[in-house]
Amino acid sequence: MSHIRLIATAKANTNIALIKYWGKRDEKLILPMNSSLSVTLDNFYTITTVEFTDTLTEDKLIWDQAPGNYEELIKISSFLDIIRKKSGINLHAKVITENHVPTAAGFASSASGYAALAAAATKALGLNLSHKELSIIARQGSGSACRSVYGGFVEWQKGSMEDGSDSYAYQILNENAWNITILSVMVASGQKKVSSRDGMKRTVETSPFYKGWLSTVNEDLEEAKKAIRNRDFVSLGEVVERTALKMHATMLGAIPPIIYLESGTLEVMNRVQELRQNGFPAYFTIDAGPNVKVLCQPENESRIKQALMELGSVQKVISCNPGEGVRYLSEHLV
Ligand code: DP6
């Protein structure tokens, strides 16, 4: 007897938020309190193959060539349920995923991970989705994943509908429209981190500064979009750095406080500001961890990279440029 085998493979790049998503208004559907803006990175990505088959009695996960952990499998299974329901095909799946994101160094792979998983699983089940529909699905795995569907500069509009049907991302400029450099700066770190999911929840629930975040994030977003459309690097850098610091300020007010900034983080922040004083435009942004991303113009990349590598706490600097959105591969990981 022949078996059913529905298979597809997708590749998605990760993205770095220039205006951060911080706080949910709906935990289950992953609906954000504020709109956000990111740039998709070319060098960090996830490749995922999903095979739906009638030979399995439960979902299976292979993560970087080893059996995936149970908690991750539970999350992935309930995410696949959304897609199974949409397609009306109720088969279990084998998910094989390879991360080319330095996760161990605190770089999030959930954005590229859920974008690739959403794309591969919907394709395997024959759902021919638009980018908008795919973005809505990816969002329900991890909020930032809805932006990785697209390449280049991307906005995630928070939307206002209760069912999340107007909360999705769209592209502002494609990856070839404006070249900037994003340096991923890894610093020495010892602490165990609060996940961004828990961190944002605690901030919304307990920080008196969260109101301040919400009251200015829209202005910052509009300013950033204008700078991107005008290819105005300095204006973009100014607002990116300011808004990242505001996000971290909300967390310092949470109970108990969440402090992602470490001594190495501060060392990099100071050096970036010094470089600027010496005539090299560079700006930092920081997510839910100690590592720093530094924005600069391609012509200054090697000088700035070198200046950062000289710092005692810097372990590694990886350069990226704006990268592509989700794409499908014909070779599978099985
Ligand atoms: C600081 O998208 O990882 O990187 O939706 O709970 O999965 P969940 O969170 P996630 O949070 C990203 C937080 C951030 C800012 C950003 O990427 O916008």
Supply 137's token pair: 């699905």
Measure 121 CA to ligand 1 centroid, in angstroms: 22
How many CA within 13 A on the CB side of residue 61? 17
Query: With left for phi above 0 and alpha for psi between -120 and 50, is residue 91 left, alpha or beta?
Result: beta
- CA–CA distance, 110 with 80 (Å, rounded to integer): 15
> Which structural domains are found in the chain, ordered by start?
5-177 (3.30.230.10), 181-320 (3.30.70.890)
C-alpha 2 to ligand 1 mean position (Å): 42
Cβ–Cβ under 8 Å, residues 293 and 14: no
Report in angstroms the alpha-carbon separations of 89 from 84, 86, 187, 332: 5, 8, 46, 21
Q: Half-sphere exposure of 104 toward its Cβ, with a 13 Å CA cutoff?
A: 4
The strand pairing partners of 270, in sequence order, are none
- CA–CA separation, 117 and 62 (whole Å): 13
- What value, to the nearest 5°, has the Cα angle with vertex 57 and ends 63 and 66? 15
Tally Cβ neighbours within 10 Å of residue 15.
34
Q: What pLDDT, on the 0 to 100 scale, is given for residue 188?
A: 82
What lies within 8 Å, CB to CB, of 258 at 6+ separation is 194, 199, 202, 203, 251, 252
196 lines ligand 1 (CB under 6 A): yes
- Say how many Å lie between the CA of residue 4 and the centre of ligand 1: 36
Q: Tell me the residue type at 269.
A: M
Q: Ligand 1 centre from 14 Cα, in Å?
A: 11
Closest residue to atom 14 of ligand 1, CA basis:
287
Kindly state if the Cβ of 25 falls inside 6 Å of ligand 1: no
Compute, in angstroms, the gap from residue 7 CA to the centroid of ligand 1.
29
Residues of the chain with confidence (pLDDT) below 70: 103-108, 191-192
CA angle 287, 291, 297 (to 5 degrees): 85
| Atom 5 (ligand 1) nearest CA | 143
Question: Is the CB of 285 inside a 6 Å radius of any atom of ligand 1?
Answer: no
Sign of the dihedral defined by the CA atoms of residues 114, 250, 105, 291, in that order: positive
What does the alpha-carbon distance between residue 211 and residue 162 come to, in Å, rounded to a whole number?
A: 21
User: What pLDDT does 104 receive?
Assistant: 54
pLDDT in tens, 51-80: 999 999 999 999 999 999 999 999 999 999
Q: Is there an atom of ligand 1 within 6 Å of 46 CB?
A: no
| 288 C-beta closer than 6 A to ligand 1 | yes
CA dihedral 120, 126, 128, 131 (to 10 degrees): -20
Q: Which CA distances in Å does 219 have to 173, 215, 225, 240?
A: 19, 8, 10, 12
Q: Which residue's CA lies nearest to atom 7 of ligand 1?
A: 142
Report how far residue 185's alpha carbon sits from residue 296's, in angstroms, rounded to the nearest whole number.
13
Decide: 227 in ligand 1 pocket, CB within 6 A: no
Q: How far is the CA of 22 from the centre of ligand 1 (A)?
A: 7
pLDDT of residue 192: 67
